[in-house]
Amino acid sequence: RRRWRDPRALAAALLGALERRPPGDTAPGMAAPPAEVLAFLRAVADPAPPPVTVTAELDLRVVPLGGDTHIGGSCLLIEAGGTRILVDAGLRPGDRAEPPRDIGRALDGPLDAVIVTHAHNDHCGYVPALVARRPDLRVIASPETAVLMPVMWADTAKVLAERERGRARWGEAGDVLYGRADAEAAARRCEELPFGVARRIGALTAELFPAGHILGAAGAVVRAGDRRVVVTGDISGFRQETVGGHAVPESARAADLLVLESTCCAEDHDGRDLRVGELVRAVAEIHRGGGRVLIPAFALGRAQEIALIMRRHLPEVPVRVDGMAADLAAVFESLDPALRVFEGGTAVANRPAELDAFRTGVVISTSGMLTGGPAVQWASRILPEPGSALFLSGYQDEESPGRALLDLARKGGEFRLCDHGREITVPVRARVDTMRLSVHADRRGLLGIADEVAAGEIMLVHGIAARQRVFGDTLRVRGHRTAGTGPWRSGVG
């Protein structure tokens, strides 16, 4: 009852399980499902689709509208046979949350659906604003993502309202991107699509597959007649505490186009086990010395992963989870009973009491770049302590406080933090370091995905242009054909 709130998703999952059984594979005394049962499930899973003439010549067009030669605001327009859909509609990071760069192009015509690859804001954060403008828009995602997105949207709506109230005090108020009611309306439009089940969207069909990265993350195979485009979304191939690696389906192989993320296309990671080992040893050293460790972490995925790493490798070390990270950890537990974040010595932080009372252990808190949230309050207490440490666990934007802290730590001195508009200056005596646990495929991993899919062409997105050019050269040396990061059309090139 907790997972299958969408009857279409339940019917699709049952249908997929029944249709995948080999002939004669029935339990003792159980007959094969009657044809009328299968017909009923098909009708519920994909009710009364409009008549569509699908031919091998159906033209397929793909246009990146954001998150192509930059990271943030991911959005891809796919068109065929009069059907227009988006894969992702994310926010661009910054003080003012911005829509995908060219979202106006999608809104210039009809829009049938948005397929969301995962619940990070740079991929799903603009969806409530889209639904506000297109109330009948279908929002399609994996069951886990369909549960996580509304939590993210509600928090974003709250943050946007707080920012606008702050600007209003200085006479700078403008239009709010969306509010609580818009987030709730978008949540009502969510359709759960389990992995491996095809769903009709006008002249197109879409199938999701596991992409690793975070809980619920999906890649998408979009088909128009005999033409196919595969969109990886953010993808990784290694097992984590919270999710396994990607699983490319047969339906993706030899597609016409692979739209491949390229976040880490210039990096060769040392291996996840090595990175985890470095973090565990560093935390154990601080704990033995009687200090405490603050790990600012992204609320969705990274925070829960680190909490479970601590519980597995250092069960004797107390752990506190704070802010939005704690709220989402509770959602993780509801989605998968095996993901027991709050067990043993791991608990929700009791703030403000524990800001000073929690003297030894690990604090995992948002925001990951120290731009705000409870992590700022913890940092103001922990940075002045010589025996303690602050470990940044992920990417730090060039303009972020986290990047400024890393630069300062090499020289020493005082650091300025901003807590709800109040500036705090503290001496930096604690150890400051980076403990990156990337959840993106590195150069070798991306090459492996390219080889596995073996698409006619590859388009790189979600990366830095200069790095994409170098990686594109590598792909071509390995025999792959690359398409420019821009408008693409099947059968042209």
Q: Do 165 and 178 belong together in one domain?
A: yes
307 occurs within a structural domain: yes
Q: Do 153 and 239 belong together in one domain?
A: yes
End of a domain among 390, 416, 434? 434
Q: Do 390 and 420 belong together in one domain?
A: yes
Tens of pLDDT, residues 109-120: 999 999 999 999
1 occurs within a structural domain: no
Banded pLDDT at 176 (limits 50, 70, 90): confident
- Given strand 198-201, what is the order of strands in its sheet? 198-201, 204-210, 218-224, 227-231, 257-261, 457-461
Domain count, the chain: 3
Average pLDDT, the chain: 90
Residue 20: pLDDT above 70? no
Q: Do 246 and 277 belong together in one domain?
A: no
- Give the pLDDT score at 372: 87
**CATH at residue 413:** 3.40.50.10890
Banded pLDDT at 341 (limits 50, 70, 90): very high
Lowest mean pLDDT among 62-66, 159-163, 164-168: 164-168
Mean pLDDT across the stretch 463-469?
97
Mean pLDDT across the stretch 347-362?
96
**DSSP string across 40-82:** HHHHHHS-SPPP----TT---EEEEEESSSSSSS-EEEEEETT
Mean pLDDT across the stretch 454-474?
98
Q: Do 160 and 258 belong together in one domain?
A: yes
Banded pLDDT at 173 (limits 50, 70, 90): low
Which is higher by pLDDT, 382 or 20?
A: 382
Q: E-assigned strands of 81-123?
A: 83-89, 113-115
51 occurs within a structural domain: no
State how far the Cα of 407 lies from the Cα of 397, in Å rounded to an integer: 13
Q: Do 305 and 390 belong together in one domain?
A: yes
Tens of pLDDT, residues 288-328: 999 999 999 999 999 999 999 999 999 999 999 999 999 99
45 occurs within a structural domain: no
Residue 21: pLDDT above 70? no
Tens of pLDDT, residues 392-432: 987 777 788 988 999 898 787 899 998 877 888 999 999 99
259 occurs within a structural domain: yes
Lowest mean pLDDT among 127-141, 155-169, 270-284: 155-169
Residue 24: pLDDT above 70? no
Q: Do 85 and 215 belong together in one domain?
A: yes
Tens of pLDDT, residues 131-142: 999 999 999 999
**CATH at residue 168:** 3.60.15.10
- Give the pLDDT score at 31: 64
Residue 422's domain comprises 272-434
The Cβ of residue 56 has, within 10 Å, a number of other Cβ atoms equal to 8
Biggest CA-to-CA distance, the chain: 76
Lowest mean pLDDT among 5-9, 206-210, 431-435, 456-460: 5-9
The proportion of the chain whose per-residue pLDDT surpasses 70, expressed as a percent, equals: 90
46 occurs within a structural domain: no
Tens of pLDDT, residues 26-84: 555 556 777 778 767 877 776 654 444 444 457 999 999 999 999 999 999 999 999 99
Q: Cα 222 to chain center, whole Å? A: 19
Q: Do 428 and 284 belong together in one domain?
A: yes
Q: Do 154 and 65 belong together in one domain?
A: yes
The Cβ of residue 134 has, within 10 Å, a number of other Cβ atoms equal to 17
Q: Do 391 and 463 belong together in one domain?
A: no
Angle at 244 between CA 217 and CA 471, to 5 degrees: 70
- Give the pLDDT score at 51: 47
408 membership: H or E segment, kind and range = helix 401-411
Q: Do 335 and 223 belong together in one domain?
A: no
The proportion of the chain whose per-residue pLDDT surpasses 90, expressed as a percent, equals: 74
Which is higher by pLDDT, 1 or 435?
A: 435
- Give the pLDDT score at 55: 46
Nearest 10 degrees: CA dihedral of 283, 288, 294, 295?
Answer: 10
- Give the pLDDT score at 207: 98
Q: Do 169 and 239 belong together in one domain?
A: yes
Lowest mean pLDDT among 196-205, 251-260, 290-299, 363-372: 363-372
Residue 15: pLDDT above 80? no
186 occurs within a structural domain: yes
203 occurs within a structural domain: yes
- Give the pLDDT score at 58: 79
Residue 170: pLDDT above 80? no
